[in-house]
Amino acid sequence: MSDKTEQLNELIAIILDGQRFYEHAHDEIDDASLQALFRDMAQAKHQVIQALSVKVAANHEEPATSGTLVGKLRQAYADARATLSSDEKATYVAQLEQAEDRILEAFEDALESAQPDVKALLAVEMPKVRACHERMRELKNLH
């Protein structure tokens, strides 16, 4: 596997963590407006994953199809905190905002070290990543 493909697959795995976490949180809460937001955020993650996966496939490699251990642990931690919390919505929002921090940081790190063709792809996808991050940060600040 080339460095380029490895870097893209690492990003895909981290974004998959976020997508799955949003889908999980959607199923765990009963607030219709948050469910709609979480569905939109999961869809945004899916779009970024698709864009990165196309680039991996163009390099004749297999795109990542699973998340990371850190992502699974973060989701389990959020579930435990939500169970113990009097406000499970605020708990999920806070944990999802931290997941957005992780995705944004991974993208920024990748942009610094990426080869020109990957850097161009990441630059195209970065506004979506930043918009999701900002949306969750604003929501967290409301709770």
What CATH number has the domain bearing residue 121?
Answer: 1.20.1260.10
* pLDDT (tens digit per residue) in 101-131: 999 999 999 999 999 999 999 999 999 999 9
- Mean pLDDT, rounded, for 16-44: 95
Task: Tell me which DSSP letter residue 28 carries.
Answer: H
Categorize the per-residue pLDDT at 73 as very low, low, confident or very high, splitting at 50, 70 and 90.
confident
Angle between helices 32-58 and 116-142 in degrees, nearest 10 = 170
Contact yes or no for 57/5 (Cβ under 8 A): no
Between CA 25 and CA 30, with CA 28 as vertex, the angle to 5 degrees is 110
CA dihedral 66, 70, 72, 77 (to 10 degrees): -170
Inform me whether the pLDDT recorded for 44 exceeds 70: yes
* Residue span of the structural domain in which 27 resides: 3-142
Number of structural domains the chain divides into:
1
Q: What is this structure's pTM?
A: 0.89
Q: Which residues, at least 6 apart from 8, have a Cβ–Cβ distance to it below 8 Å?
A: 52, 55, 56, 63, 118
